[in-house]
Amino acid sequence: MAIITFLSDFGECDHYVAAVKAKILSINSGINIVDISHQVNTCDIAHAAFILKSVFRNFPKGTVHIVAVNTIGQAGDKYIAVELEGHYFVSTDNGILGLISDAEARIQVDINAINPITTSFPAKQIFAPAATKLASSTAIQDLGPTIPHFKKMLGRHLKANKSLIHGHVLRVDHYGNLITNIEKTAFDILSKQKKYTITFGRETARRINEAIHAVDAGDIFIIFNDLGLLEIGINQGHASELLGLSYDSPVIINFNE
């Protein structure tokens, strides 16, 4: 069954989400629509990119992803479809797709170049029809002319050498946990036969836990999560509030021989 995922900053209290779904189903009632989230902070491209990057590869190749975040964008932003890592993405060319993967796209097209539409609701009037066509086996190049590139914003990259890893908080999740850009693969390589100290805010730690319940309620835990990223939290507490840390806060691991 064809799959279209749907990520937006529309929230849940208005008609917008339902209107986009209705448009899809009115074109092809056999489409399977999967909601990723509609609680992305308004126009927050970094938030949306983190969510999408974390989950899109879990869907089968060929899945179509509608990314309706900051859809109006800026003057001159195109509406595009991109084939990337075997998946299709339909979005405003506002920089978000450049944050989800370092791979080169196979093709990118302008989906509003043929019979262009001016609308205040591009997710319904432009994204939904294009995504439904892709999910119904229309070739991406049939949706519009190819464009040479799409916007790519630069995300936070960690700094690493044999003596330290300098990362940042990428996301404060629903539980208040601090998800960083420090990858387990880099840590495993640099930490071999070394002791280390993890510094975040005014706190320091000298061990990484195997599970959250390895610490008592109210205590700080540090784990590598399901994404393979270093995560700092407080068992049954809100780490961001209690530690005074938020998006982009530094997290540093120093290694000692």
**Tokens representing 253?**
């691991």
In this structure, are 171 and 138 located in the same domain?
Answer: no
With cut-offs at 50, 70 and 90, classify the pLDDT of residue 153: confident
Query: What is the average pLDDT across 91-113?
Result: 95
Give the global pTM.
Answer: 0.89
Number of domains composing the chain? 2
Does residue 221 lie within any of the structural domains?
yes
Using the structure block, give the residue that is written with the tokens 């730690």. Answer: 205
Residue 213 structural domain: 159-256
Cβ contacts of 27 within 8 Å, gap of 6 or more: 128, 129, 132, 133, 136
Which pLDDT belongs to residue 1? 64
In this structure, are 225 and 126 located in the same domain?
Answer: no
In this structure, are 7 and 128 located in the same domain?
Answer: yes
In this structure, are 10 and 109 located in the same domain?
Answer: yes
Listed residue (147, 126, 254) closest to 190, CA to CA: 254
Listed residue (98, 32, 91) closest to 62, CA to CA: 32
With cut-offs at 50, 70 and 90, classify the pLDDT of residue 154: confident
Last residue of a domain, one of 142, 174, 207: 142
Top pLDDT among 154 and 227 is at: 227
The total number of residues shown for the chain amounts to 257
